[in-house]
């Protein structure tokens, strides 16, 4: 049975980010510096101004970028699902990473949940991928080795599993 899947609206995310940037009277460089504050003192590369400004023009944006932007905005990934009529539930809130934490998707946990449902339904990875636009069977099975996944694809997986994206978001400390 195919469930309806809502698209993650990258343009709406970018517009919300730009609105908040303007409301706080920040330049794009100042915005990037604010979003990148948790990266100070880590081996993680900060998010570039160009990446932030151009994300609405990309087919896929790494989840590390989107999660940090959502964190800065104080929004859930679900709040940017186009066509969704309900407001995000409290269970959809991203974890509080504190000032020194960085949010990341736990792709291994995502793979485990996908595999459990796949086995329970007697499906192959290819059959699961046929229900998730933009994915192949090998892309899904490779989630077991992580660590990165992109938006909007990750939101298709979350919807197919019927759980909030936050179920797979973890804080990574410095």
Of 164, 139, 167, 166, nearest to 153 by C-alpha is 139
Q: What is the mean pLDDT of residues 46-63?
A: 88
Query: Mean pLDDT lowest for which of 44-48, 108-112, 125-129, 150-154?
Result: 44-48
More confident residue, 123 or 64: 123
The reported pLDDT for the residue numbered 148 is: 77
Is 108:146 a contact under the CB 8 Å cutoff? yes
The reported pLDDT for the residue numbered 96 is: 83
Of 84, 17, 4, 92, nearest to 47 by C-alpha is 17
The reported pLDDT for the residue numbered 126 is: 94
The reported pLDDT for the residue numbered 85 is: 60
Strands 169-172 and 61-62: unpaired
Residue 102, pLDDT > 70, answer yes
The reported pLDDT for the residue numbered 86 is: 60
Region of residue 62 (phi > 0: left; psi between -120 and 50: alpha; otherwise: beta)? beta
Residue 174, pLDDT > 60, answer no
Q: State how far the alpha carbon of 117 is from the alpha carbons of 76, 112, 171, 173, in Å.
A: 24, 9, 25, 30
Summarised one tens digit per residue, pLDDT across range 27-38 is 999 999 999 887
Residue 66, pLDDT > 70, answer yes
Any residues with CB less than 8 A from the CB of 139 and at least 6 apart, and which? 129
Of 98, 15, 10, 5, nearest to 62 by C-alpha is 10
Is 111:141 a contact under the CB 8 Å cutoff? yes
């Amino acid at each position: 049975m195919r469930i309806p899947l809502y698209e993650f609206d990258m343009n709406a995310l970018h517009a919300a980010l730009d609105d908040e940037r303007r409301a706080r009277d920040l330049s794009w460089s100042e915005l990037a510096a604010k979003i990148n504050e948790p990266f100070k003192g880590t081996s993680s590369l900060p998010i570039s101004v160009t990446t932030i400004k151009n994300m609405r023009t990309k087919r896929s944006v790494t989840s590390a970028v989107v999660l940090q932007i959502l964190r800065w905005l104080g929004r859930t990934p679900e709040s940017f699902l186009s066509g969704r009529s309900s407001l995000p539930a409290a269970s959809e809130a991203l974890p509080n990473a504190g000032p020194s934490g960085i949010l990341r998707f736990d792709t291994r946990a995502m793979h485990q949940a996908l595999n459990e449902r796949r086995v329970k339904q007697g499906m192959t990875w290819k059959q699961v991928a046929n229900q998730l636009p933009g994915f192949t069977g090998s892309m899904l099975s490779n989630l077991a080795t992580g660590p990165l996944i992109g938006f909007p694809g990750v939101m298709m997986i979350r919807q197919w599993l019927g759980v909030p994206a936050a179920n797979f978001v973890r804080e990574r400390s410095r």
